[in-house]
């Protein structure tokens, strides 16, 4: 879909969208159109009790010289912000798709009392772009009604040049979101550790990122027994991918900010086999790694002035004669030993070695990991928030703020010594689960904490937000790429300014 920005004007034909702020009524261009249509717009608004609330939508057929006019409520002017504009853009795209429009002009008819400098056009465009995502590469037959029709969206705004510039930067991030959504959507027979690693190498090398791929022989030399143990039942070779982006080579503190992702490309549970129903969803147990790869692509794509490193542990968890068994003890890269009581608690084993490697090699200023780690976080938070655990209050507040600004929301959960004691065991330094079912997400977090030394660190459990079961304003049903925009905002706010 092509997106353009122009000065405020009504088009000569086709479909027009009027964005209306709550209780503000039609703007100047809307009033011009209403007069040309003999008052048809105001009559329709009165009949439908349309006031411009954020969920108000009204379609008017064939007014004046247009095929249709779509009125979209934006909500109160004094609460206008980027996330609301993005949601409006996503709703507009969905509505235009429903009526099979091929092109449309969106008139962001700002009220006269709008705050100076308020320019929401680029945000609205970003929302429409994010909603336009589709993963249909394996569909060989589609009915005409199933194909998207909208190919051009023009946005009329008082500041088209500023909107164009802002959208250019945001589009690099949106492209990275699409990259992550593609990765997470792929079936496991197409996306496995080696192919995942190669896709990352191809995409990020073209953006100027240095990509290293470590195979099993190298991982064995490094002593990554925890990660290798997860994959020993699979025919696919386990990989560790390191992405280094140096966007601020002249800064005084060159230590990077680090991001680590769990990349279990398919999770059967191993010998602790999952139930068959719903197991197909476990193709997206690599969403944390996908988000890290997308984030590094976003930073490089928009030429962020930051030094960042992404490390993703890619592994397939399969039952096999060579698979690790409940009760096995593995030795991690840190030297700490782990009693594996449940092979379906495998993500923390993969992350243990990836976190230690990252800290040991890069000594980052701060480190954030993303993982579809526990079903327990879904019970706690549903699909509205990702669970966040952190060993540093300032870092936690910075991430919470970035979540609010980006619309990818976090909720901080506790890590207490009482939880940490629950993973002590007589047979090894620790076990990978506790004896009970309670506080499953916190148990996973305190396990990971044992592998970060004194690094400022946060763990994001994204199991409930990595995949959408229904459409939302800017996220079609399917892979969400949660974390890419959140952490891009975090980097921009904390490390670039």
Which residues, 6+ apart, have CB-to-CB distance to 196 below 8 Å?
183, 239, 241, 263, 265, 286, 289, 314
DSSP code string of 363-409: --SEEEEEE---SHHHHHHTTT-EEEEES-HHHHHHHHHHHHHHT--
Answer yes or no: do 339 and 373 share one domain.
Answer: yes
CA–CA dist 200, 286 (Å, integer): 13
Say which residues have a Cβ less than 8 Å from residue 348's Cβ, sequence separation at least 6: 371, 373, 432, 444, 447, 448
348 belongs to the catalytic site: yes
User: Do 50 and 122 sit in the same domain of this protein?
Assistant: yes
Where does a domain end: 127, 158, 189? Answer: 158
Pair 375, 440: CB distance under 8 Å: yes
Looking at the structure, do residues 74 and 130 belong to the same domain, yes or no? yes
CA dihedral 33, 34, 40, 42 (to 10 degrees): 140
Catalytic residue (choose from 164, 283, 348, 449) = 348
Q: Pick the closest to residue 360 from 335, 340, 338, 339 (CA basis).
A: 335
> What tokens does 312 get?
């993703």
Look at residue 400 and tell me if it is in a domain.
yes
Q: Are residues 13 and 118 in the same domain?
A: yes
In a domain, 12, yes or no: yes
Helices (H) and strands (E) in the chain — how many of each? 15, 19
8-state DSSP, 220 = H
Residue 445 lies in a domain: yes
Beta-bridge mates of residue 412: 388
C-alpha dihedral, 357 to 361 to 364 to 368, nearest 10°: -20
Q: Which CATH number is 180's domain given?
A: 3.40.630.10
**What are the angstrom distances between the C-alpha of 145 and each of 1, 101, 260, 300?**
17, 12, 41, 37
Domain holding 395, by residue range, is 171-494
- CATH code of 150's domain: 3.40.220.10
Regarding whether 225 and 119 lie in a shared domain, the answer is no
Q: Which two tokens stand for residue 352?
A: 């243990």
My answer on whether 106 and 230 are in the same domain is no
My answer on whether 209 and 256 are in the same domain is yes
Query: What whole-number distance in Å separates Cα of residue 182 and Cα of residue 261?
Result: 16
C-beta of residue 441 within 8 angstroms of C-beta of residue 427: no
The tokens of 211 are what? 């990509």
Contacts of 397 by beta carbon, 8 Å cutoff, 6+ apart: none
- The answer to whether residues 340 and 481 belong to one domain is yes
Q: Catalytic pick from 274, 331, 412, 456?
A: 274
Please indicate, yes or no, if residue 489 is contained in any of the structural domains.
yes
What is the distance between the alpha carbons of residues 40 and 59, in angstroms, rounded to a whole number? Answer: 12
Same domain, yes or no: 291 and 432: yes
Residue 164 within a domain: no
What is the C-alpha separation between 154 and 469, in angstroms, rounded?
30
Give the count of domains, the chain: 2
pLDDT, residue 332, reads: 98
C-alpha torsion 164→166→169→175, nearest 10: -70
Residue 39 lies in a domain: yes
Reading the block at residue 453, the tokens are 């030394």
Please name which of 62, 50, 61, 59 lies closest in space to residue 24, comparing C-alpha atoms: 50
The answer to whether 35 is a known catalytic residue is no
CB 190 within 8 A of CB 283: no
Tell me the C-alpha distance between 245 and 305, whole Å. 10
Q: 238 and 275 in one domain?
A: yes
Do 122 and 179 lie in one domain? The reply is no
The reply to whether 78 and 222 lie within a common domain is no
Mean pLDDT, consecutive 10-residue stretches, the chain (497 aa), reads 95 94 93 96 96 94 94 93 95 94 92 76 97 94 81 94 95 98 98 98 98 98 98 98 96 92 98 97 98 98 98 98 98 98 98 99 98 98 98 98 98 97 98 96 98 98 98 97 98 93
Domain presence at residue 299 = yes
Given 158, 185, 207, which residue is the final one in a domain? 158
Which of 125, 158, 191 lies at the terminal end of a domain, its last residue? 158
Q: Which phi and psi (to 5°) does residue 351 adopt?
A: -70, -30
Residue 397 lies in a domain: yes
Question: How far is CA 114 from each of CA 18, 121, 155, 158, 322, rounded to the nearest angstrom?
Answer: 16, 14, 18, 12, 66
């Amino acid at each position: 879909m092509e997106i353009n920005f122009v000065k405020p004007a009504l088009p000569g034909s086709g479909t027009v969208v009027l964005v209306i702020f709550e209780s503000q009524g039609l703007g100047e261009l809307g009033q011009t159109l209403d007069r040309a249509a003999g008052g048809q717009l105001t009559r329709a608004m009165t009949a439908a009790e349309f006031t411009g609330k954020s969920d108000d939508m009204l379609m008017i057929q064939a007014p004046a010289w247009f095929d249709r006019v779509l009125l979209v409520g934006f909500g109160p002017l004094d609460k206008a912000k980027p996330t609301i504009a993005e949601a409006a853009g996503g709703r507009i795209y969905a509505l235009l798709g429903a009526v099979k429009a091929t092109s449309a002009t969106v008139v962001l008819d700002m009220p006269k009392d709008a705050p100076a400098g308020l320019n929401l056009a680029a945000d609205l465009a970003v929302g429409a772009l994010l909603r336009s995502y589709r993963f249909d590469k394996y569909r060989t037959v589609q009915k005409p009604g199933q194909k998207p029709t909208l190919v051009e969206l023009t946005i009329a705004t008082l500041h088209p040049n500023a909107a164009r510039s802002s959208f250019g930067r945001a589009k690099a991030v949106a492209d990275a979101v699409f990259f992550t959504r593609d990765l997470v959507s792929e079936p496991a027979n197409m996306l496995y550790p080696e192919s995942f690693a190669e896709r990352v190498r191809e995409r990020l090398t073209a953006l100027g990122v240095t990509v290293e791929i470590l195979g099993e022989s190298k991982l064995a030399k490094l002593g990554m027994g925890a990660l290798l143990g997860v994959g020993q039942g699979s025919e696919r070779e386990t990989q560790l991918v390191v992405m280094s982006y140096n966007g601020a080579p002249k800064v005084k503190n060159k230590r990077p900010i680090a991001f680590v992702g769990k990349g279990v490309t398919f999770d059967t549970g191993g010998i602790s086999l999952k139930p068959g129903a719903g197991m197909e969803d476990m193709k997206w147990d690599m969403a944390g790694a996908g988000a890290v790869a997308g984030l590094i692509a976003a930073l490089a794509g928009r030429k962020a002035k930051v030094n960042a490193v992404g490390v993703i542990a890619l592994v397939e968890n399969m039952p096999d004669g060579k698979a690790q068994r409940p009760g096995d003890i593995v030795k991690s890269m840190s030297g700490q030993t782990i009693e594996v009581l449940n092979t379906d608690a495998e993500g923390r084993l993969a992350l243990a070695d990836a976190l230690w490697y990252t800290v040991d090699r890069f000594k980052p200023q701060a480190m954030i990991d993303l993982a579809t780690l526990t079903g327990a976080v879904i019970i706690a938070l549903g699909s509205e928030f990702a669970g966040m655990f952190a060993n540093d209050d300032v870092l936690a507040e910075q991430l919470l703020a970035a979540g609010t600004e980006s619309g990818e929301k976090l909720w901080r959960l506790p890590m207490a010594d009482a939880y940490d004691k629950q993973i002590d065991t007589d047979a090894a330094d620790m076990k990978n689960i506790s004896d009970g079912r309670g506080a499953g997400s916190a148990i996973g977090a305190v396990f990971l904490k044992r592998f970060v030394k004194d690094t400022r660190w946060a763990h994001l459990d994204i199991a409930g937000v990595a995949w959408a079961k229904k459409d939302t304003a800017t996220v079609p049903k399917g892979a969400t790429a949660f974390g890419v925009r959140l952490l891009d905002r975090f980097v921009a706010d904390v490390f670039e300014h």
